[in-house]
Amino acid sequence: MAAEKGLRERVRELLAEHGPGAMEPLDFLRARFDAGLAWVHFPEGLGGLGLPRTEQAVVDAELAAAGAPDNDPRRIGIGLGMAAPTILRYGTEEQKSRFLRPLWTGEEVWCQLFSEPGAGSDLAGLRTRAVRDGDDWVVDGQKVWTSSAHNARWAILIARTDPDVPKHRGITYFVCDMTDPGVEVRPLRQITGEAEFNEVFLSGVRIPDAHRLGDVGDGWRVAQTTLMNERVAIGSGQAVPREGGMIGTVAATWRERPELRTPELHDRLMRLWVEAEVARLTGERVRQQLAHGAPGPEGSGLKLAFARLNQQISGLEVELLGEDGLRYGDWTMVRPQIVDFYGRDAGYRYLRAKGNSIEGGTSEILRNIVAERVLGLPSEPRTDKDAAWKDLPR
């Protein structure tokens, strides 16, 4: 209670000194970060106060009640959910000071350069090379399925730095400046008509060694921090009320249009409603565990459930609407900054949900993670685990 009272007082001091209505939103966000109220579980001086993560709800509620601007978290989700926890854990003091503040305020958007055309599910098989040249690394390769690359200033990047060791041990983790020469971003048009994803070509891109996260060759371990946080962010990143999310949209249609109902659709809706509620409560449990430590493999199970439920619920919605479910809005080439499931029609939700079982880790790989690391089942045989990467078949 004392910590909560102190937080409320600190919020009131911030509002008294930096009234959100009397200054630009960005200036207010910078002041909030400097006051340690950005993410209270981060260390002092880095946007936090070293408090338990659960105390953040107190700050957010007070600021929302005062009408203070937020940092548009959906637009900068990759930076907040993936880059920031990795930088905090593995970054140098200089890297933390340089990157975390503009990342949180939204001044600098981040993207993730992990997947490649030949290394998606088998991410450790990546081919993008980074070769040391003095104080720099010269990077050549191709990345794919990169959300927000067309808006990003920075990217978290993994590249192969030693082809003579097994694939998991020859990877290093970098921060890449997306405005540097040699970085080319091309849109990937999706089934929705949009291009929120990209392919990124890296041709002789020079990255200073000062922008390396973790030790040389230890990039796979660093990347696990990113991936575990990514899956929690996708599967249960934000608390939702009962009947929130996509199941709420379908339930509202069911109530508003009784002429669409059939016994079979009713049974399916009830089953999915219960499963969505189980997933919501499980997500709350995982968030509580996260408040007391780093995310574990349980996040993979949540992300797996998220993808399956989104696809099944959106399919039910299309069937429930009958002919209206076949309608689709303006199928035009746009470059969205965020994915908006709820401001669109049922056809968009149905098509966009197909990508949920690929992004953030394919459902097949997540099932392996749950089986091996949560349930303790035997691992699948891996004949390439100890072979040098250069000797693996392509």
How many residues in the chain? 394
Q: What is the residue-wise DSSP string for 125-145? A: G---EEEEETTEEEEEEEEES
**27 exposed, middle or buried (CB, 10 Å; 0-12, 13-18, 19+)?**
middle
Tokens of 370: 């749950």
Q: What is the residue-wise DSSP string for 100-123? A: HHHHHHTSS-EEEE--BTTBSSSG
**381 exposed, middle or buried (CB, 10 Å; 0-12, 13-18, 19+)?**
exposed
CB atoms within 10 A of CB 138: 17
| Contacting residues for 201 by C-beta, under 8 A, at least 6 apart | 142, 183, 184, 186
C-alpha closest to that of 275 among 253, 307, 299: 307
Tokens of 259: 């002429």
Please list the residues that pair with 215 across neighbouring strands. none
Query: Could you give the residue numbers annotated as active site?
Result: 230
Tokens of 380: 């699948």
CB atoms within 10 A of CB 114: 24
Q: How far apart are CA 323 and CA 325, in angstroms?
A: 5
Q: Residue 215 is which amino acid? A: D
- Tell me, what DSSP letter sits at residue 157? E
Q: How far apart are the first and last CA of the chain?
A: 59
At 262, is the secondary structure helix, strand, or coil? Answer: coil
Placement of tokens 């994915």 in the chain? 339
At 74, is the secondary structure helix, strand, or coil? Answer: coil
Q: Residue 93 is which amino acid? A: E
Q: How far apart are CA 357 and CA 101, in angstroms?
A: 32
